[in-house]
Amino acid sequence: MDLFYQINQTINNIIWGVPMLVLLVGCGLYLTIRTKFLAFRKFPFILKQTAGSIFSKGENKGEGEVTSFQALSTALAATVGTGNIVGVAGAIILGGPGAVFWMWLAATFGMTTKMAEATLAVAYRDYNHGNVRGGPMYYISRGLQLPWLGKIFAFFGMLACLGIGNTVQSNAITNILNANFHVPKFATAIVITIITFVVIIGGIKRIGAFTEKLVPLMASLYIIGALIIIISRASYVPAAFGMIFKGAFSTTAAAGGIGGYTLRMAMQNGVARGVFTNEAGLGSSPIAHAAATTDHPARQGLWGVFEVFIDTICICTMTALVILTTGVWEGHGDASSLVAFSFEEGFAGGKYIVTIGLVLFALSTILGWEYYGESCARFLLGDKVGNAYKFFFVPMVLVGGIIPLDAVWAVADNLNGLMAIPNLIGLIGLSSIFIRLQRNYFTHEPEHHFEKEDWMPLLKKYAKEKSAS
């Protein structure tokens, strides 16, 4: 087993090393520059079209299976998870407060990356007997015309969902409830398994309807708790931001190490945890965005920007401020309990907010990633085999809740990274059509209703150009 962990760690260092992190952030930077900083220039408009329309009673126009907000909720259900709590704590422990700045930087460029993912997912999605499916496997196969690369993404995605999106999440839930409330792990695992089955058996429509209610609930609960602490310690907030900005560029190691150690660790851990929290570039959430009812691919791309903004800029920042303003992070080496200690320091019973938040975040991740895994299985193996994926996925929820999963954690991390490679190739290779779709959308009035004929010719023209070249 020791040899297994050594081999796996070597692979992990390659997959999640500096080159991959540079590629992930570099892809976002490249797309940001090519779009002339569109996500920043149009940010007020994006907020109006996304957050401003959440409570609108108007119906979504266009084709799709769920509303744009339900698609976002499904994506956020899978994205907003333990990384927003434990991931931020881990970044601060390993890289110091300065890691938060680099997490912000990764998210800043990640907004355009997620915009491209959502846009391309809708543009190249498939319509099959009333079901709408899409994601990197589709835009790689159809847009780049590289079916074999699309299958590689689907293969790694199908396997990764059983690990990072399933067993390790149910294991986290049973451990948390057992440690804090002494609930038997088997009992918790049974309940989680039943909830998962009842929700996912209804497909994306039921998942979307469920997460549409769960995501606002879990986010509100956690955000309110964090705001109570931040407001009560408002006098410490300026110092917290000072630590973040000073630590981001400090070349002196806090513990007397060699010069540059703190800067390197802050950058590496901040970027890595930032990517984990919002998944920009990994290729997972565009599978959910592809199911949205929308009349133009670029319109759904706006929700991709909003997703990263909520996930990292808002929720992760609040987690960081709670940790830094309460001051319990120094000398604390356990990321899993650091946030709970910080909340408890903020107010009595605060640790229970974290516990409930972690449970809801992990549960939502299970639901969102089942849809991702099933979509990958359908693409790779066909509808008949793909439909059976959920019946294999559900028992794994039960198994994950009652057995140790150290080995699964290690392998799942690598599978998650392997998904990103073909996806990033797809995003860079299809950057031209992404930009054309964005221009096509923004040349009209915001209330303009699009027909397929307004943007579909762009895809056909691009396909001809690619075939000719």
Average pLDDT value over all residues in the chain: 84
pLDDT at residue 381 above 70?
yes
At 89 the pLDDT is: 83
Greater model confidence, 51 or 393: 393
- Across 136-145, 306-315, 459-468, the highest mean pLDDT is recorded for 136-145
At 258 the pLDDT is: 39
Q: Structure tokens of 59?
A: 């119906």
At 46 the pLDDT is: 92
Q: Dihedral angle at the C-alpha atoms of 54, 60, 65, 70, nearest 10 degrees?
A: 0
Greater model confidence, 199 or 328: 199
- State percent of the chain over pLDDT 90: 37
- Band of residue 260 on the pLDDT scale cut at 50, 70, 90: very low
Q: How far is CA 401 from the centre of its chain?
A: 22
Cα distances from 25 to residues 19, 86, 272, 434, in angstroms, run: 10, 22, 10, 18
Q: Which of 114, 131, 83 is nearest to 315 (CA)?
A: 83
Backbone phi, then psi, for 451, in 5-degree steps? -110, 160
Least confident piece of the model among 89-98, 106-115, 369-378: 89-98
At 255 the pLDDT is: 42
Least confident piece of the model among 136-150, 178-192, 284-298, 394-408: 394-408
Backbone phi, then psi, for 433, in 5-degree steps? -70, -30
- Across 171-185, 335-349, 453-467, the highest mean pLDDT is recorded for 453-467
Cα distance between residue 114 and residue 285, in whole Å? 8
pLDDT at residue 253 above 50?
no
Cα distance between residue 141 and residue 110, in whole Å? 23
At 164 the pLDDT is: 73
pLDDT at residue 263 above 80?
no
Read off the pTM.
0.89
At 266 the pLDDT is: 80
At 376 the pLDDT is: 94
- Mean per-residue pLDDT, 455-464: 92
